[in-house]
Amino acid sequence: MSRASRKKEQNSRPNIITLVRSYFIRHFQVFFYSLGQLSRSPFSTLMTAMVIGIALALPTGLHVLLNNAQQLSGGWESTAQISVFLKKSVRAEQAQKLQSDIQNWPDVVSVDYISREQALKEFQMLSGFGDALKALNSNPLPSVLVIKPRLNQNSELTTQNLLNKLRILRQTDKAQLDMQWIRRLYAIMDIVERGVLILGALLGLAVLLVVGNTIRLAIQNRKKEIVVMKLIGGTDAFIRRPFLYTGFWYGLFGGVIAWLLVSFTLLSISEPIEKLTMLYQSQFELNTLSILTTFFLFIASILLGLAGSWLAVGRHLREIEPQ
């Protein structure tokens, strides 16, 4: 190379500071350029974003509901109690005597005595069978001692010991731990949680493919532009950039739509849930999407968008070479 042309070449090259600054400005420009490209065809952009949004809304919504269920049942464990159904032959005074005896056991926090009459009254009030019960000649309900076990580190074992001790009392007809069903509920929720995870993974994959396919079509449409860029020295990174940002936008829009869908769904079911909890005479506030969940939803949707476009660009950009 002659001196003249070497000098010329150096002159035509930007220095490193300009290069770095141009790099960031370029990113900034492409960021909005790709948004502008999408806004040119708002309908198809919205359609794609909707598909992504719905696919993401499903696992997100299920996750929130499951969280709520876990929170609701979380309070129940501390209410573990043993119901001791006394034999019908046990009279009220004997039952009260037993109550104060058990009260003194070390593993017991409290003992409530529900007499046969009280039990019947409660049953009439809550079951709605009030009138039907009046037809009965005698009270069919036994008296009950409701025992709250002391909960500590190995409460499972102590509770079991306590249960065994209560079972062998001669006044006891039947003693049962009212926690079995919570355990079962937890087991069921574990299964559901696993299911939500699998569903989430599958739908995440679907999002990946949707974005990938959309970007693939965008690449096909801009084939000529890509060829020209390659001819005049555009690097792969340069050519890839607008497509990656397009994927980013699809992901973000999909995430926003998913957020809206889940939020509106939760809003619309919060009223009937409030009614239901009132019927159970309990206090329960339906948790909506937390900031953390929202954050993860957006991060996940953006990453899926980026990954989808990365896959498509990686596969198809190499195929397009100037002829």
Partner 1 sequence: MIRFINASKRYSSGFDALQNVSFELADGEMAFLTGHSGAGKSSLLKLIALLERSSRGQVIVNNQNLAKVPRRRIPYFRRNIGIIFQDHQLLFDRTVYDNVALPLIIAGHSHRDIGKRVRAALDKVGLLSKEKKYPITLSGGEQQRVGIARAIVNKPPLILADEPTGNLDPELSAEIMGLFQDFSEVGVSVLIATHDIALISQLPYRVLTLKSGQLINDTGSQAGTEAEDSFGGAR
Residues forming contacts to partner 1 in the complex (CB under 8 A) are 1-2, 4-5, 8-9, 11-14, 18-19, 21-23, 25-26, 224-225, 227-236, 238, 321-323
Contact (CB, 8 A) for 179 and 83: no
- What lies within 8 Å, CB to CB, of 35 at 6+ separation is 245, 249
Nearer to partner 1, 10 or 137 (CB): 10
* Closest distance to partner 1 from the beta carbon of 25 (Å): 7
- Residue 12 corresponds to which amino acid? S
Cα–Cα distance, 23 to 74 (Å, whole number): 52
* Closest distance to partner 1 from the beta carbon of 316 (Å): 17
* Closest distance to partner 1 from the beta carbon of 307 (Å): 22
Residue with tokens 């990938």: 212
* Closest distance to partner 1 from the beta carbon of 257 (Å): 29
Nearer to partner 1, 12 or 281 (CB): 12
Nearer to partner 1, 259 or 310 (CB): 310
Count CB atoms within 10 A of the CB of residue 185.
15
* Closest distance to partner 1 from the beta carbon of 9 (Å): 6
Nearer to partner 1, 109 or 231 (CB): 231
Nearer to partner 1, 20 or 109 (CB): 20
* Closest distance to partner 1 from the beta carbon of 12 (Å): 4
Give the C-alpha distances (Å, rounded to integers) separating 116 from 102, 130, 171, 210, 238. 19, 15, 15, 65, 82
Give the C-alpha distances (Å, rounded to integers) separating 314 from 176, 205, 237, 318, 319. 63, 17, 10, 7, 9
* Closest distance to partner 1 from the beta carbon of 48 (Å): 21
User: What strand order describes the sheet that includes 144-149?
Assistant: 108-114, 144-149, 82-86, 172-177
- What lies within 8 Å, CB to CB, of 33 at 6+ separation is 242, 245
With b for 16 or more beta-carbon neighbours within 10 A and e for fewer, the 115-131 pattern comes to bbeebbeebeeeeeeee
Cα–Cα distance, 201 to 63 (Å, whole number): 13
Nearer to partner 1, 174 or 223 (CB): 223
**Residue 286 phi, psi (nearest 5):** -70, 120
* Closest distance to partner 1 from the beta carbon of 32 (Å): 15
- Residue 286 corresponds to which amino acid? L
Nearer to partner 1, 28 or 129 (CB): 28
Nearer to partner 1, 35 or 179 (CB): 35
